[in-house]
Chain A
Amino acid sequence: MSPILEVDNLSTWFDTEQGSLKAVDEVSFQLHAGDTLGIVGESGCGKTVLSLSIMRLVPTPPGRYVSGQIKMNGLDLLSLSESEMRKVRGKSISMIYQEPMTSLNPVFRIGAQISETIRLHQGCNRTESHHKAIEMLRLVGIEVPEKRINDYPHQLSGGMRQRVMIAMALACHPRLMLADEPTTALDVTIQAQILALINDLKRDMGTSVILITHDLGVIAENAQQVAIMYAGKFVEYSDVKNLFAHPLHPYTEGLLHSIPRIERYYSRDKRLPIIPGVVPDLSRLPQGCRFQERCSDVMPICRDEEPALIEQRNPKRYVRCWKYQ
């Protein structure tokens, strides 16, 4: 089976006065139909720029697609014209953003915003698109959608707004959905509902999902594949089970250890194992490995040369670290 999305050696840089900022650097992955790829990283690691790159929404300039290909069912998105790309957005790829308040238009009723997408891509009239919008709202679990469709975004709670965003994203049955921190602004009980909803819809419609989050728990429960991103690069890429059972990269390991677990009791004198330091400035990256300053296993070679993303066998996974080269 060929993958529905193939990202090959993608680099998205930003030209700034301080030089080129390598927000996404040499990123490659494949996504198969119906799978969820989780992308994890801390703020500034480039995970949002990666998703905006796939949607071709990076402002150019200052952004620049330096290299690589993004192939959606064999079609290279980076070679499309803007008007061709507009037919892809919302139809075969759609996106759910982190902040449901700022990503909905406050002056339009939610029904108008959902049916706009439907009219645009499916070429149906207002009555048809209105009915389809009601159906979408019903699908995402909004009660009395005939009435709710006339609400403005501010009349809805955060969870409801995120449901509207999902309804909009799924209105045209996209092959791929990009969800950038879809539940970060929500309470845990609402988060659980929204993630369950995404999973149900994914199963029913066969949509593939790229789930971007800083929450490893969300990834563990919802993704099949996971990529750990650090300073613009994938440092580890694996199936979920093996990543959590045996993290290879020191960053992944450190990240997993630094999260307080609810199933563990911490006595008064217990401290969390930490990753010292902070994420490096993307415009002033060190020579060699980008994680060297914070790594407990740093070797001389790490300071000279950047490791490649190397394939590991049994099980098959990838890691960018000199320990495994």
Chain B
Amino acid sequence: MSKEIPNDTCGAGNINKMNTPLLSVHELHKSFPLQGGYFASSQDKCLAVQDVSLSLYEGETLGIVGESGCGKTTLARMIAHIEKPTAGEIRYRGQNIFNYDKKQLKSYRRKAQFIFQDPYASLNPRLTAGEIIAEPFTIHRRDLPQDIDSNLENILKMVGLSRDQEQRYPHEFSGGQRQRIGIARAIALRPEIIIADEPVSALDVSVQAQILNLMKDLQDEFNLTYVFVSHDMGVIRFISDRIAVMYRGRIVEIASNQEIFENPRHPYTRTLLDAVPRLD
């Protein structure tokens, strides 16, 4: 795999097709040392992500799909600077995010927000919904642009929660509502990129549809760029502009939504599609 996969930019549709990507991933590798038995060699490694390169364009949704253990979460976590790569770089607006100084990193954290899979585990149970959503404003209060709306009521309204829910604690909310709080927290600082790791897989079907629609609405309103990780082909079909299919740490196919679903090239993509049970 050389610098860029040829069809990487195809199918961006009506979204920004300018040649400079907002974020680009170059030959990214990540391995974890294996904690084997007493005599295990320290050489044993799990190659979670291998030689991944991709570009992310402003305003698009890049879906990352694959089965458990394929490296999709590790890749997402590296894009969010939660995990550091073993090799390779991620450039945001031209600069390698892993070479940032403290101040630059803080600014990147504001611009690239994460939505977690488990709305039960990812919210602090001791904080109220209002405090959870307000916390990012406290952390970033010195370097926030003037025009950011920090009014809690408005933020709650954007994600479909009401004012009176501000004083409640996470355990008082349903799974869908908790995910709305997670989304509110993520969009509060007006980020450019949202990295969502399986944001709807813990939710019921009817609630999943509500959250997916909400994410599309917010994307339109704030021109958000999404990295959307999921194992669910239906969800990926609905939300993505482009899709990267991962298998054993590598991207085996990256193309537009329609290419992946209507004309899959890689045998693994076909296997994945064939395995999905059909409704009709």
Provide the bound-state CA to CA distance between A279 and B175, in Å. Answer: 11
Q: Which of A220, A265, A269, A278 contacts B280 (CB 8 A)?
A: A220
Alpha-carbon distance A263/B273, docked complex (angstroms): 10
Tell me, yes or no, whether B233 is within 8 Å of chain A by CB: yes
- In Å, the complex CA distance between A259 and B235 comes to 8
Interface contacts (Cβ under 8 Å), in number, total 114
- The answer to whether the Cβ of A286 comes within 8 Å of any Cβ in the partner chain is no
Contact residues in B for A245 (Cβ distance below 8 Å): 280
B271's contact among A43, A189, A222, A266, by CB below 8 Å, is which?
A189
Q: A262-B233, A266-B237, A266-B238 are in contact. Are A218 and B209 (CB under 8 A)?
A: no
Assess the A271–B216 pair: CB atoms within 8 A. yes
The answer to whether B67 and A43 have CB atoms under 8 Å apart is no
Most chain A beta carbons < 10 A, residue from B177, B204, B216, B239:
B204
Of listed B177, B207, B239, B279, residue having the most chain A CB within 10 A: B279
Please choose the segment from A20-28, A53-61, A138-146, A209-217 that sits at the chain B interface, where 4 or more of its residues have CB less than 8 A away: A209-217
Asked if B280 contacts A268 (CB within 8 A), the reply is: no
B206 touching A188, Cβ below 8 Å: no
Q: In the complex, A270→B209 CA distance in Å?
A: 12
Contacts of B15 in A (CB 8 A): 268
A187 at the interface (CB under 8 A from B): yes
Which of B206, B261, B279 counts the most A-chain CB atoms under 10 A from its CB? B206
Query: How far, in angstroms, from A262 to B13 measured CA to CA in the complex?
Result: 19
8 A Cβ contacts from B261-280 to A: 261-262, 271-280
Q: Chain B binding site: helix, strand, loop or mixed by DSSP?
A: helix
Chain A nearest CB, measured from B188 CB (Å): 23
Q: Which residues of A contact B278 (CB under 8 A)?
A: 217, 220-221, 262-263
Q: Which residues of A contact B234 (CB under 8 A)?
A: 259-262
Annotate A251-278 by CB proximity to B: 1 below 8 A, 0 otherwise: 0001110111111111011111111101
**Which of chain B's residues have a CB closer than 8 A to the CB of A258?**
205-206, 208-209
Residues of A close to B262: CB separation below 8 A: 265
Docked complex Cα distance between A185 and B206 (Å):
19
Complex Cα spacing A275 to B233, Å: 21
Q: Are B67 and A274 in contact (CB-based, < 8 A)?
A: no
A22 to B208: give the CA distance in the assembly, Å: 25
Q: List 18 A-B contacts (CB under 8 A).
A: A43-B175, A43-B204, A187-B231, A188-B67, A188-B275, A189-B67, A189-B271, A190-B67, A214-B204, A215-B277, A220-B279, A258-B205, A263-B278, A266-B237, A268-B15, A270-B238, A271-B217, A275-B209
Q: Which 3 A-B pairs have the closest CB atoms?
A: A217-B277, A260-B238, A258-B209
A contacts, CB < 8 Å to B? 42-43, 158, 187-192, 195, 214-218, 220-222, 244-245, 254-256, 258-266, 268-276, 278-279
| New contact pairs (5) apart from A188-B231, A262-B273, CB-CB < 8 Å | A217-B279, A258-B206, A262-B261, A272-B238, A278-B207
